[in-house]
Structures are given as C-alpha cells and as structure tokens.
Amino acid sequence: MPDLFDKRLLFVTGKGGVGKSTISIALGMAAAERGLRTIVCEVSSQENASRVFKKGEVGFNEVQVADNLWAISIDPDESLREYLLLQLKVRAMRDLLMRSRLFNYLAAATPGLKEMVTIGKIWELALPDRKVKKGREYDLVVVDAPATGHGVGFLQTPRTFAGIARVGPIHNQAQALDRFITEHDTTGVVIVSLPEEMPVNESASLERQLTDDVGVAVERIYMNAMYPERFSEEEARRLERVMEIAEGPANAAVRAALSEHRRANAQRGQLDRLAASVKAPIKTLPFIFKPRLSVDELHRLAGALT
C-alpha cells in the first residue's frame, strides 16, 4: 500500500454519513503522531474537530488541537474576503467591495465561486510558502470534503471555472488549482465506504468518476465500521443448536450473538463485492461500539488507518 502521508494534501470523500469527518480527524491524528505538522480542514462548518478536542468553536482560524495537529473550518465568505484582500492591491477598490453590498452580489452572482475560493484557501494552507501573513507551514493538509453528489463537483470546480473564464488571471489561477489537485505526487483522494449494498455501489462509481473525469489519484478506500468476526462457521452451527434448547435470557443472548454473526458475514460479502469493483487498495476499519466517538476511540481508529 502506498504511504498516504507522503502527500501534501489529502481529500477525504464519500457518501453522506459514511464517516468522512471521523476518518479525517483520525488521519490527522495518525499523521501528527508521526511528527507531521498536520491541519484538518472542515468545509461544511460542522465543527467536528472542535467537538472532539473540546476546543470551543474552531471557525475560520487555524486552531491547535493537539501536538502537531491543527484544525480549521473553512468559511467561503471569509475565504472570498481573504482572497480579495490578497488580490486587490488597490486599497480603495478593496474597501469599496468589502464594505458594500457589492460583495454579496458578487458571491451570489457567480455560481461555484464559494467552492472555488474554498479550494483556493485549501491550496493556500498547503503552500510551503504561505500567502497569509505569518502563515504556519504544514506538512500535510487533510480535507473533510463535502458528501458526494457534491464531492466530485467540488473537486472539479477549478476546471469548470477555468472553462468559464477562458482567459485572464482568474483562468490562470483556476488552472493552477486544477493542476495542484490533479498532481498525483502531492494530492491524493481517500474514499470512505460502508459495508452495505448502496455505499459499495456508489464508492465504485465514485472511484471511476474521480479517476477518469476529475483525474485525481484515488489512493485508498476505507471500508468503515466493520463488525468483528467473533465465531467460526462451526461455532455458529453449534450456537444454533444451543438456541433450540436454551430458554429465557440465555436464548436471547445466543440469538443476539447469531444475529451479529450473520451481519458480520453479510459485511464480508459486501467487502468482497467492493474489492471486485475498485482499483485502489482497500483497508477495513472496525465498528466502534460507542454512542459517541471521543479522542480515545479516534486514537484507536487512527492506529488502524495505516
């Protein structure tokens, strides 16, 4: 398996609710433990990192949450402001735009502009030589990308933009961003999936789209939340015989054990199906039997990631 942490930028993508935010943070923790200065970027302002690390609202700031680990929640409006600030050298024009309603009109009138400046900010964070004043240099930027549906579109934004603005500085900047995202040495994409029918189908088609249409490097697929295999088939058969004679609580316990066994089996079937339909290496992650995942559980996941 290729080493994910050789990259400078990792996008974590997948269907809604499969564990993108969880795995983004766990990846960040794993990289930070290896000594890489790492930042995890949330783009849909869910504030997952602030909840896990109990840091108050992270917001559009680079907040340190652990040794070697930072988090930021990228707000498109703030990114657009920052972009204009860096771009517009003429102060009077900058002020006019920022202070007036023109700013809101600009954002509303340009479809995809918010995604574009969000990716621009991600790129800025990954630069060895940051554009913002006193910008910290990171070894790795992990992006908790929007759920698919939006996911492929999100990564395609720079190319779409470059196509709309055919010439000029916006065109050139959009093209530079597209080159950065599709540069396989520096940028990788990780797909998160679940061992169920629909997520497996969607992960396979997502990999195809990302590889063929967007041109990014899909480095790995995480099959998240796999149940443990606790019993062999022989043991399961024995349990079935026990269930026939057991009564009361014993019967209920055996029934529960068998039901979990069948579920784990069905998940292995989905894992085989995924393996048959994708090219990227697959890594399984355990289901963690906790109502809410806190730092300790995320550490456990982080250990299983690489």
Which residues are at the interface with ligand ATP (CB under 6 A)? 16-22, 147, 224-225, 285, 287-288, 293
Q: Which of 13, 21, 193, 270 binds Mg ion (CB under 5 A)?
A: 21
Minimum CB distance to ligand ATP, residue 276 (Å): 23
Q: Which is nearer to ligand ATP, 18 or 206 (CB)?
A: 18
**Is 21 buried (19+), middle (13-18) or exposed (0-12) by CB count in 10 A?**
buried
Closest residue to Mg ion in the complex (CB): 21
Minimum Å gap between C-beta 21 and Mg ion is 3
Nearer to ligand ATP, 44 or 182 (CB): 44
Give me the least distance between CB of 147 and Mg ion, in Å please.
7
Residue 18 touches which of ligand ATP, Mg ion, none (CB < 5 to 8 A by kind)? ligand ATP
Nearer to ligand ATP, 22 or 173 (CB): 22
Q: At its nearest, how many Å lie between ligand ATP and the CB of residue 161? A: 24
159 binds, among ligand ATP, Mg ion, none (CB under 5 to 8 A by kind): none
Whole-angstrom Cα distance, residue 236 to residue 254?
Answer: 10
Residues in the chain: 306
Task: Tell me which residues in 264-303 interact with Mg ion (CB under 5 A).
Answer: none
The item of Mg ion, ligand ATP, none sharing an interface with residue 303, based on CB under 5 to 8 Å by kind, is none
What's the token pair of residue 303?
């250990």
Question: Integer distance in angstroms from the first to the last C-alpha of the chain?
Answer: 9
Nearest CA-CA partner of 298 in 47, 5, 9, 52: 52
* Shortest CB 93 distance to ligand ATP, Å: 37
Instruction: Report phi then psi at 70, rounded to 5.
Output: -125, 165
**Cβ contact 268:206 at 8 Å:** no
Nearer to ligand ATP, 166 or 289 (CB): 289
* Shortest spacing between CB 124 and ligand ATP, in angstroms: 23
Could you tell me the two tokens for 45? 């302002």
In this structure, are residues 19 and 224 in contact, taking their beta carbons and an 8 Å threshold? Answer: yes
Identity of the residue, 21 or 267, whose beta carbon is nearer to Mg ion in the bound complex: 21
Task: Give the interface size with Mg ion as a residue count (CB under 5 A).
Answer: 2
Helix ranges (DSSP H) in the chain: 20-33, 48-53, 76-87, 91-99, 102-109, 113-126, 151-164, 168-181, 197-208, 233-245, 248-277, 295-305
* Site residues, Mg ion (CB under 5 A): 20-21
